[in-house]
Structure 1
Amino acid sequence: MTIETLEVAAARRALTEALADQDRRTIILKEPLTYEKGNGKSYFRDLALTAMGDADGGVRERLRRHEIDVIRTADYPYQLDDVVHVLPRWMRDQLSEIASVARPYLNFVHSQQIPPGTDAINIPKVTGPIDPDSADTYARALVCSIAGEQTVARGTIAKRVDLDEVLFKDIAASYYMNQDIQAIGGTGADQLLGVSNTPGIPKLSADLSDSSREYAKTIYKRIAVGIQGVHTTRYLPPRLMMMHPRRWAFFTALKLTSSFLPDDAEQEFGDAATLLLGSLQGLPVATDPNMTLDGKDFIHILRPSDLYLFESDVRARVVSSDTDGGWGEDTNPTFQIHGRTAFTAGRIPSSVCEISDLAAPDFEAITREMAEVAS
């Protein structure tokens, strides 16, 4: 056993013993962390040099010290495996903020850590009046690997550029966005089974080509039907309405400038900088730009607490951009942040209603119609 392996093993034992006697937050790392923000040491660059076979003794030493940092860091609550690929602490501290922006839909659903070593999760279904015809007693959520990535020119690595602040936020946002896209509309084939493709979720089409004025009224009526549909079949009221940003802008343009919506239409406005932009027909409204398919968008009326997300902590890695996975002299490194995710909306499908087939708003037409009404 090498000295390096002995030192890492000793750090693991020290952490285990400390956690047996006190809260992990009381464990203090005495020395500065290897990869601190702005200290000139690039974690991503060191990973790339290692993957490409160009790492020198300094790179290997920093990654070894990082592994010990992670094991000793008190705020790291996850499984201590593949530790060298755990993000530095300053990056981990920013993940929740990035997720709140990159995956709006999933921010509202029930979320918990995925059990280690799990390929699928079976969640007991509710039987009885809510789902009387279901022959299944479990909703099965398959565990899928999801990654966000960015390829960088190999020459950038050689220039000793600190890549961490340049790459980290973009790659993390890509990871959470891909997670969100699959949870909304994934097919279930080598990816998550999204809400829109979950069997049993009712859909109300609003595929019309009327004027903006009549189209708005039609969508508004479909929303009313969807709200009562969730309430009367789930036996609990919906709590949220999710829509594409352009759909909220569509309602807002009509509501603020004319009486295009029904006379008693209710729409209130929140703060565009928050997750909840306002309310429509008494339901809070949040927007997500990932709620679109084939040029059309859709609205979900839902009880988000009935949707289940399971996720692992994320890891970083560097892979070859070549399709064969090899490293030639001209091969560029691809940086990834990846993790394992399971998701299901199938436990109680009646908790969601989809208003589908919404054509992209023609804001120029809306302006013309408003001018005609004004004249």
Structure 2
Amino acid sequence: MIRLRDQVQTRVNELDTEIRHYDSKKQARTFTVDDKQEYDALIRERGEVSQRLAELERDERREIEAGKVRTPAPGTFANERRVGGFTVRDSSVYRPDNGTEVSFLRDLYNARRGDWGAADRLQRNNREMRALTTTATDGGEFAPPGHLVELYARHAKASRVFAEVLGPNVLPAGVSSINIPRVSSGTSVAVQAAQNTALSETDLVSAQLTSGIVTIGGKQVVSLQLLNQGGIPVDQVVFDDLSREHAKQIDTQLLTGTGAGGQLKGWIFTADTGPSEVIWTDAAPTQVTFLKKVAELLNKVATQRFLAPSWIVMHPRRWFWLMAGQDTTNRPLTPPVANGTVNSAAVSSVPVAEGSAGSIYGIPVFLDANVPTNRGAGTNEDSVLAGVGGDSLFWESPLRVEAFDATYADSAGVLLRVLNFSAAIPDRQATSLGLLTGTGLVTPTF
């Protein structure tokens, strides 16, 4: 609101300067008929803009008196819901049933060009969206309405399952890197050899883990005609595709980023050759052997971290292959949970392609299609991940949605941009990085 008020105040100042120019012409007796028309138009606009400025100042005072800007806790509103890791609410300004009458992306563009109505709608939408968590406004940008965020989470591209398993933290503003301490070598305690002799002493050794801030974003240039006159909901078409690709890329970075060249440090890259990696070499893998190797993986994490893994993540192809397995009497090795779990190492819930799929040895299993399937010498192996909740850290800033016409004006184009900033430290506890790899995970046959 402060930004909009400043924009309106700037326009008032501009109008006052132009009006004073014509007042000078009046005094110099050079005031023409054409000047009179322009002068009257300026006076009318000055009255309208002054009225709008007064309204904004009144609204601002009301907010200050109401306790400035509060952020309600999730669950405060009846129309609030969780979608793909975000808390979203519906907006009365930009509704999914308004077709192309009111467009969020079109208003982003027009507000920059002095359209006070567009700016006002964006500000009203922002006030309604304050219950958002990681999609709240940042640095004066505008929050996309709830139904567009919902499209962000649910359509055909692989979504950010692993990112949600890690549980994103809000990235602090104004930092160029994230640094956390880690104890790399601990103290010692031992039996005292004899009375009045020295106790055991070993100095604690600490280290620092660091993650740079990574920018993940994309853009799309659309014609001004499509944005302003198009008969399709360009918000849903463009924002949906850009933001779904953003979700896929941030998830991929958290899985396989190298930590170099502007990338995040990913789980698989960090866990390779690590203390909790299990390499499964098998020319004829079976579902029974697979379950044994998963047990070995869980054991490796638990006996080194001294905590049981709290989740397992795998590619959908590995889970459905496991579901196809049968015992010697043709009973499924992974029965539906509705059939009971007696003597079952793994159970499946409602069939899904992504997200929570069931459990193995009582540990929840999540399916993520971004888990790579081109690893190993034959570039045909996938991997299975297991970790302890809270041991690996991931931060991200709000998703920013912006529109620009600079450099595209000569072709009547508008650039739409989606981006955010993120950081990751997967190896805060290196022994938590459970990873099952090897030839036993080649492309499964059914």
> 2:427 touches 2:433 (CA, 8 Å); kept in 1?
no
User: Quick one: which of 267, 270, 274 aligns to 2:346?
Assistant: 267
User: Quick one: which of 138, 148, 169 aligns to 1:112?
Assistant: 169
Q: Measure, in 2, the Cα distance between the counterparts of 1:280 and 1:225.
A: 12
The range that moved more, 306-315 or 169-178, is: 169-178
Q: Does 1:252 align with 2:326?
A: no
Residue of structure 2 equivalent to 1:68: 123
Amino acid at match of 1:300: L
Q: Does 1:287 align with 2:337?
A: no
Q: Measure, in 2, the Cα distance between the counterparts of 1:187 and 1:226.
A: 23
Q: Does 1:297 align with 2:376?
A: no
User: Quick one: which of 159, 164, 176 aligns to 2:235?
Assistant: 164
Q: Measure, in 2, the Cα distance between the counterparts of 1:177 and 1:133.
A: 44
Q: Measure, in 2, the Cα distance between the counterparts of 1:163 and 1:183.
A: 30
TM-score with structure 2 setting the length: 0.64
User: Quick one: which of 267, 274, 284 aligns to 1:211?
Assistant: 284
1:297 match: secondary structure = coil
> 2:108 touches 2:122 (CA, 8 Å); kept in 1?
no
Q: Shift of the alpha carbon at 1:38?
A: 3.2
Q: Measure, in 2, the Cα distance between the counterparts of 1:15 and 1:96.
A: 32
User: Quick one: which of 350, 353, 357 aligns to 2:431?
Assistant: 350
Residue of structure 1 equivalent to 2:394: 309
The range that moved more, 71-80 or 344-353, is: 71-80
Amino acid at match of 1:354: L
1:44 match: secondary structure = helix
Amino acid at match of 1:192: L
Higher relative CO (Cα under 8 Å, sequence separation at least 6) belongs to 1
Q: Measure, in 2, the Cα distance between the counterparts of 1:269 and 1:314.
A: 34
The range that moved more, 14-23 or 344-353, is: 14-23
Q: How do 1:11-26 and structure 2 match up within 5 A? A: 11=59, 14-20=62-68
Q: Measure, in 2, the Cα distance between the counterparts of 1:183 and 1:308.
A: 10
> 2:355 touches 2:368 (CA, 8 Å); kept in 1?
no
> Can you list the C-alpha shifts for 1:242-300, whole angstroms capped at 9, x where unaligned?
10000001111123795898xx8722111124832122233221110000153431100
1:15 match: secondary structure = helix
CA 143–254 in structure 1, closer or farther in 2 if over 3 Å, else same: same
Residue of structure 2 equivalent to 1:42: 103
> 1:149 touches 1:175 (CA, 8 Å); kept in 2?
no
Residue of structure 2 equivalent to 1:373: none
Unpaired stretches in structure 1, ≥5 consecutive residues: 367-375
Q: Shift of the alpha carbon at 1:92?
A: 4.8
1:164 match: secondary structure = helix
Residue of structure 1 equivalent to 2:336: none
Unpaired stretches in structure 2, ≥5 consecutive residues: 1-5, 11-52, 78-90, 188-201, 334-342, 375-379
Q: Shift of the alpha carbon at 1:2?
A: 5.1
Query: Aligned pairs, how many?
Result: 345
1:178 match: secondary structure = helix
User: Quick one: which of 194, 216, 224 aligns to 2:266?
Assistant: 194
Q: Shift of the alpha carbon at 1:360?
A: 4.1
Q: Shift of the alpha carbon at 1:192?
A: 1.1
Q: How do 1:58-207 and structure 2 match up within 5 A? A: 60-70=115-125, 72-73=127-128, 75-76=130-131, 81-92=138-149, 102-126=159-183, 136-150=206-220, 152=222, 156-157=226-227, 159-161=229-231, 162-189=233-260, 190-198=262-270, 200=274, 202-207=276-281
The range that moved more, 90-99 or 151-160, is: 90-99
CA 154–306 in structure 1, closer or farther in 2 if over 3 Å, else same: same
> 1:148 touches 1:178 (CA, 8 Å); kept in 2?
no
CA 154–71 in structure 1, closer or farther in 2 if over 3 Å, else same: closer
Q: Does 1:327 align with 2:327?
A: no
Q: Measure, in 2, the Cα distance between the counterparts of 1:318 and 1:158.
A: 13
Q: Measure, in 1, the Cα distance between the counterparts of 2:130 and 2:276.
A: 43
Q: Which has the larger radius of gyration?
A: 2
Q: Measure, in 2, the Cα distance between the counterparts of 1:20 and 1:47.
A: 25
Q: Measure, in 2, the Cα distance between the counterparts of 1:106 and 1:99.
A: 17
> Can you list the C-alpha shifts for 1:52-74, whole angstroms capped at 9, x where unaligned?
xxx6x6xx234321343255336
> 1:205 touches 1:356 (CA, 8 Å); kept in 2?
yes
> 2:209 touches 2:428 (CA, 8 Å); kept in 1?
yes
Q: Measure, in 2, the Cα distance between the counterparts of 1:121 and 1:15.
A: 34
> 1:242 touches 1:301 (CA, 8 Å); kept in 2?
yes
Q: Measure, in 1, the Cα distance between the counterparts of 2:57 and 2:381.
A: 54
Q: Shift of the alpha carbon at 1:48?
A: 5.2
Q: Shift of the alpha carbon at 1:234?
A: 0.5
> 1:319 touches 1:335 (CA, 8 Å); kept in 2?
yes
Amino acid at match of 1:310: W
Residue of structure 1 equivalent to 2:190: none
Residue of structure 2 equivalent to 1:370: none
Q: Measure, in 1, the Cα distance between the counterparts of 2:124 and 2:249.
A: 30
Q: Shift of the alpha carbon at 1:20?
A: 4.9
Q: Measure, in 1, the Cα distance between the counterparts of 2:168 and 2:321.
A: 31
> 1:8 touches 1:68 (CA, 8 Å); kept in 2?
no
Q: Measure, in 2, the Cα distance between the counterparts of 1:21 and 1:83.
A: 13
The range that moved more, 238-247 or 98-107, is: 98-107
1:122 match: secondary structure = strand
> 2:276 touches 2:301 (CA, 8 Å); kept in 1?
no
2:390 match: secondary structure = helix
Amino acid at match of 1:211: A
CA 4–356 in structure 1, closer or farther in 2 if over 3 Å, else same: farther
Residue of structure 2 equivalent to 1:372: none
Q: Measure, in 2, the Cα distance between the counterparts of 1:9 and 1:138.
A: 48
